[in-house]
């Protein structure tokens, strides 16, 4: 398996030269502790942990998988020791309030940490990663007693958390949830039902697991209007946070999966388990969206993680492996053949991986600043501020999750392709990246669900196109600021056309959907991918503008780094951005070619 090296140079380029994180942190309430020196020290220490502790157990964890016996789940060799080091380092509480034992740093620091950890070992990262959503949900919707009872141990990492949504009869359609919750005399509830596909649902890494569970009260209205949210610990907890007897939450089985095999995906049976209502009755789905949006952004990180991971594996191989001669003549005449990197199609694959990893990283790092502002609203109890930034971030969420995971999967597959037949066998590790990446397009809402969320809920219903107009307005401002720069004009011209077309397509779909509701469904995937490619283009242009400036005026890196940025941006605009043309044409086609075939005519005999 290729060794992992944290891309600190690129991370610092984005933080310090593109998005000015030092200024951003200085303007955040409580962000004064996130000084450049402090941030650099944290990045260096996290990189060391990821490179030396997590990456070495990635392949072995995949080969061994999780074990299930006598109702208990155990993780692969080395995972518990790695988690103990994680807790000892205080990593779980990095961006949580000091009142709960955290370090109180901005939320974005957690995303930077998650990227390195996820790239080094995604299966391991899921255990503490799922817990973050649990913590966010309790912080935003829990009462003071619930926060005092559960948050300190969760922030420390002594306990971990999960989200329990899916049931055998329902996945995305949570209106079909059947798990029941019955009120007890002491104010607690007894929950009964079965949940499936519960990532990190059980394991041996910590002493307790706190489940966030969707269930129905006896008098609940039907559908999504009748779902409530509950805290259900694996071991019961008193008001002072002391653990008691085992709660009747049992593991029915663990799934045997295509990838992320070292992450335990469980069937959980709740047999009269004690739980506590969090948030208002019948408002559980609204509260759970705190968890779901956190998880979706985390899953978007998986897209760039697997692109980066696969690129780091493919690049050394392309430089070392020799096959045939370059079409323009011998590049290494003293060798039996030229290295793969001299072949144009191999360069296409490597540049695609690089463009996805670095462009996607830029998108997430910008969105992370929006999340910081949103977190200020949570911390200060300012719902108006929270809602403002949550709406801003809401436009990014389906694009980040849907598009970056699709492109991350593409990049992981390209890594296998660079290796040829060697990429298909286990010893090189490339096939694991592709298997692990596959789930990212499925959980936390499939790509189709993200597409409907973007076009249907965020663009058409929620804002009547305003969110697109606002984002393309930012593109227009950028273009006006850079049009006088001759080096930037090719990027500015293409971005101007994209911004105009994006608004045109939005209006066309809006008008057609008034007459044919199926238009939303048939156009949504093309609209999502178009939006993702357009957004990537904007962020690649921003990076190119900074790189041109640093080449002229000096920057933190050597000139070759900035030249590579510009060349990757040129590759993206020339070779990947044109994909928008087919998506633009496809989304406006009549719905009849998809919808007119009768269901009974979908057959194979």
DSSP per-residue letters across 396-429: HHHHHHHHHHHHHHHHHHHHHHHHGGGGGSGGGS
Decide: 409 and 306 in contact? Cβ < 8 Å.
Answer: yes
Q: How many CB atoms within 10 Å of residue 465?
A: 16
Return d(Cα 493, Cα 214) in angstroms, integer. Answer: 49
Q: Token pair for residue 422?
A: 């060697």
Please list the alpha-helical segments (H only) found in 281-324: 284-320
Place of tokens 């430089």: 319
Place of tokens 């009768």: 598
Return d(Cα 474, Cα 469) in angstroms, integer. Answer: 9
Place of tokens 């380029």: 13
E strand or H helix that includes residue 210:
strand 208-215
Burial 293-331 (b: 16+ CB within 10 A, else e): bbbbbbbbbbbbbbbbbbbbbbbebbeebeeebbeeeee
Q: How many CB atoms within 10 Å of residue 497?
A: 11
Return d(Cα 437, Cα 414) in angstroms, integer. Answer: 12
Q: How many CB atoms within 10 Å of residue 83?
A: 23
Decide: 108 and 298 in contact? Cβ < 8 Å.
Answer: no
Q: Which residues contact 221 (CB under 8 A, 6 or more apart)?
A: 282
Q: Token pair for residue 100?
A: 């709960």
List the helix and strand counts (H, then E) for the chain. 19, 11
Alpha-carbon torsion, ordered 569, 575, 580, 586, to 10 deg: -170
Catalytic, 444? Answer yes
Return d(Cα 156, Cα 89) in angstroms, integer. Answer: 10
Q: Token pair for residue 401?
A: 């999750």
DSSP per-residue letters across 312-369: HHHHHHHHH-B-S--TTS-S-TTSSS-BGGGSHHHHHHHHHHHHHHHHHHHHHHHHHH
Which candidate in 308, 444, 470, 570 is catalytic?
A: 444
Q: In this structure, what are the phi and psi dihedrals at residue 238, rounded to the nearest 5 degrees?
A: -85, 180
Long-range Cβ pairs for the range 417-426 (8 Å, 24+): 417/349, 418/314, 418/317, 418/318, 418/340, 418/346, 418/349, 418/350, 419/313, 419/314, 419/317, 419/321, 422/317, 426/63
127 closest CA partner among 136, 119, 117: 117
Query: Which residues are the active-site residues?
Result: 444
């Amino acid at each position: 398996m290729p060794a992992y090296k944290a891309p600190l140079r690129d991370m610092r380029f984005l933080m310090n030269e593109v998005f000015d994180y030092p200024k951003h942190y200085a303007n955040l309430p409580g962000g004064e502790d996130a000084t450049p020196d402090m941030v650099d020290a944290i990045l260096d220490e996290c990189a060391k942990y990821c490179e030396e502790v997590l990456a070495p157990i990635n392949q072995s964890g995949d080969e061994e998988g999780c074990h299930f016996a006598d109702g208990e789940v155990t993780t692969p060799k080395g995972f518990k020791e790695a988690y103990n080091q994680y807790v000892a380092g205080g990593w779980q509480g990095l961006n949580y309030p000091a009142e709960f034992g955290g370090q109180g740093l901005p939320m974005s620091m957690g995303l930077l940490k998650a990227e390195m950890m996820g790239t080094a070992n995604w299966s391991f990262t899921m255990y503490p990663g799922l817990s973050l959503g649990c913590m966010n949900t309790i912080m935003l919707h829990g009462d003071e007693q619930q926060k005092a009872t559960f948050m300190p141990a969760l922030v420390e990492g002594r306990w971990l958390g999960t989200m329990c949504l899916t049931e055998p009869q329902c996945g995305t359609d949570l209106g079909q949830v059947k798990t029941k919750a019955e009120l007890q005399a002491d104010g607690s509830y007894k929950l009964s039902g079965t949940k499936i596909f519960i990532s990190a649902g059980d394991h041996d890494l910590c002493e307790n697991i706190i489940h966030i569970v969707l269930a129905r009260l006896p008098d609940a209205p039907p559908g999504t209007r009748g779902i409530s949210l509950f805290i259900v610990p694996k071991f019961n907890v008193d008001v002072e946070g002391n653990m008691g007897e085992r709660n009747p939450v049992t593991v029915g089985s663990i799934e045997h999966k295509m990838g992320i095999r070292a992450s335990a995906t469980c069937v959980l049976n709740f047999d009269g388990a004690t739980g506590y209502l969090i948030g208002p009755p019948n408002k559980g789905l609204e509260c759970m969206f705190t968890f779901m949006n956190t998880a979706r952004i985390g899953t978007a990180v998986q897209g760039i993680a697997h692109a980066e991971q696969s690129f780091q594996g493919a690049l050394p191989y392309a430089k070392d492996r020799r096959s045939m001669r370059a079409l323009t003549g011998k590049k290494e005449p003293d060798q039996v053949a030229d290295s793969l990197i001299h072949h144009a199609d191999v360069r296409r694959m490597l540049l695609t991986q690089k463009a996805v990893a670095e462009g996607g990283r830029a998108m997430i790092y910008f969105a992370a600043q929006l999340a910081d502002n949103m977190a200020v609203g949570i911390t200060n109890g300012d719902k108006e501020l929270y809602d403002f930034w949550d709406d801003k971030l809401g436009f990014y969420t389906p694009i980040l999750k849907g598009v970056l995971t699709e492109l991350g999967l593409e990049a992981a597959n390209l890594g296998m392709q660079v290796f040829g037949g060697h990429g298909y066998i286990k010893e090189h590790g490339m096939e694991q990246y592709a298997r692990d990446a596959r789930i990212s397009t499925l959980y936390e809402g499939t790509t189709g669900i993200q597409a409907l969320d973007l076009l249907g809920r965020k663009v058409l219903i929620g804002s009547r196109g305003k969110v697109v107009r606002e984002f393309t307005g930012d593109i227009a401002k950028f273009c006006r600021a850079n049009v006088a720069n001759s080096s930037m004009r090719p990027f500015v011209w293409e971005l101007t056309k994209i911004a105009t077309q994006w608004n045109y397509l939005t209006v066309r779909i809006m008008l057609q959907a008034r007459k044919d509701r199926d238009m939303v469904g048939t156009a949504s995937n093309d609209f999502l991918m178009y939006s993702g490619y357009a957004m990537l283009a904007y962020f690649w242009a921003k990076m190119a503008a900074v790189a041109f400036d640093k080449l002229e005026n000096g920057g933190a890196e050597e000139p070759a780094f900035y030249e590579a940025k510009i060349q990757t941006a040129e590759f993206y605009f020339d070779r990947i951005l044109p994909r928008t043309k087919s998506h633009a044409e496809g989304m406006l086609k009549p719905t009849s070619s998809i919808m007119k075939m009768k269901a009974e005519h979908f057959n194979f005999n």
